[in-house]
């Protein structure tokens, strides 16, 4: 294998692209996956996010069997219930009020696939978030900023959503959308050098 194998991020997320660039520079391309997530499946959240991550990676890997394809899926879990991306502003406000003052889990599944090399690696990361008390007024003001609709749980911790999170226990990058330490370990395990 050469020093710079083809690496593909199977995501249209600007946040994940920026995080991967932080990890390996510009040595990758982006092909958003057309895999359809289904959070209504009757499986536990850890299994669900890894299943979705793998589905995304496999769908893109069909286009280039020699590429190392990275798929990821992130959800917020509150009392065992998955909070995905809100569909409307009212939905986002409801999510934020539901998790007010609670401790929630940010759960990301990560998949690394190379069909030619027979590589299929799966892992997941869990980060605990202690949420602030979120009043109806604060929830409405925050949602009006436009950060909610594309984010699991309805908030973006790396932006104004930082005002809603009192404490993060675990990997911060996981909350943004890609657990970098875990992904780096997966790449190295597959023989892909992260540095250099």
Cα 196 from Cα 180, distance rounded (Å)? 16
Q: Is the pLDDT of residue 2 over 70?
A: no
Q: Domains in the chain, start-ordered, CATH in brackets?
A: 7-189 (3.90.950.10)
Q: Which helix (H) or strand (E) holds 184?
A: helix 180-189
What is the model's pTM?
A: 0.92
State residue 31's pLDDT score: 97
Q: Is-catalytic flag, 73?
A: yes
What pLDDT digit, counting tens, does each position of 59-87 carry?
999 999 999 999 999 999 999 999 988 99
Options 38, 64, 73, 150, the catalytic residue: 73
In the DSSP assignment, the letter for residue 156 is -
What pLDDT digit, counting tens, does each position of 5-55 carry?
999 999 999 999 999 999 999 999 999 999 988 777 688 999 999 999 999
Cα 112 from Cα 20, distance rounded (Å)? 13
Cα 35 from Cα 116, distance rounded (Å)? 21
CB of 79 within 8 A of CB of 123? no
Please give the span between the terminal C-alpha atoms of the chain, in angstroms, as a whole number: 14
State residue 196's pLDDT score: 67
State residue 190's pLDDT score: 96
């Amino acid at each position: 294998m050469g020093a710079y194998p083809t690496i593909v991020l199977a995501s249209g997320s600007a946040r994940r692209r920026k995080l991967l660039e932080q990890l390996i520079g510009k040595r990758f391309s982006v092909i958003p996956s057309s895999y359809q997530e289904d959070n209504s499946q009757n499986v536990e959240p850890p299994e669900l996010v890894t299943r979705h991550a793998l589905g995304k990676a496999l769908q893109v890997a069909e286009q280039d069997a020699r590429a190392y394809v990275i798929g990821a899926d992130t959800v917020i879990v509150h009392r065992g219930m998955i909070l995905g991306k809100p569909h409307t502003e009212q939905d986002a406000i409801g999510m934020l009020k539901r998790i007010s003052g609670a401790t929630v889990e940010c759960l990301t599944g990560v998949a690394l696939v190379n069909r030619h090399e027979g590589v299929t690696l799966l892992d997941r990361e869990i980060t605990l978030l202690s949420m602030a008390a979120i009043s109806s007024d604060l929830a409405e003001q925050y949602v009006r900023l436009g950060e909610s609709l594309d984010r699991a749980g309805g908030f973006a911790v790396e932006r104004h959503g930082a005002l809603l999170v009192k404490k993060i226990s675990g990997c911060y990058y996981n909350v943004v959308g890609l657990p970098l330490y875990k992904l780096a370990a997966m790449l190295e395990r597959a023989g892909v050098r992260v540095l250099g």
